Amino acid sequence: MIRFILAVALCCAPLVARAEIRIASGDGYHGRRAADGSNFNTHALTAAHRTRRFGTRVTVTNLANGRSVSLRITDRGPFIRGRCIDLSRAAANAIGMGRLAKVSVW
């Protein structure tokens, strides 16, 4: 019985949503190839994340002003220590951030 409970707990643990609270950057090169094979569009609500699967919808909230946006992961990155997500220009504008901002990612 204890093994069953432990197995269920281990299987369900990854399903619990946790927010990442880190620095986000907002940039990208319009027209270049993204890691999922699409062309990067700075006018679309997309982002790059190191570990989330392509096509995953995430909600990013700017902790400075409380504004949030729902977007889709289409690329890998950012590869700078301390940053968790790289937003397209449209997504960065939607949450009212400049080049960098402290955000929560769900």
What is the domain-level CATH number for residue 61? 2.40.40.10
Per-residue tokens: 33: 């190839």
Domain assignment present for 88: yes
Going by C-beta distance under 8 Å and a sequence separation of 6 or more, which residues neighbour residue 85?
20, 22, 24, 25, 47, 48, 49, 58, 60, 78, 103, 105
Place of tokens 């069953």: 4
pTM of this prediction?
Answer: 0.79
Beta-bridge partners for 60: 69, 105
Cα separation, 19 vs 89, whole angstroms: 22
Domain assignment present for 1: no
Q: Provide the domain limits for residue 81.
A: 17-105
Q: Give the number of domains in the chain.
A: 1
Greater confidence, 4 or 28?
A: 28
Apex CA 88: angle with CA 85 and CA 91, to 5°?
Answer: 90
- What pLDDT is recorded for position 14? 52
- What pLDDT is recorded for position 95? 97
Domain assignment present for 74: yes
22 — pLDDT class (breaks 50, 70, 90): very high
Beta-bridge partners for 26: 87
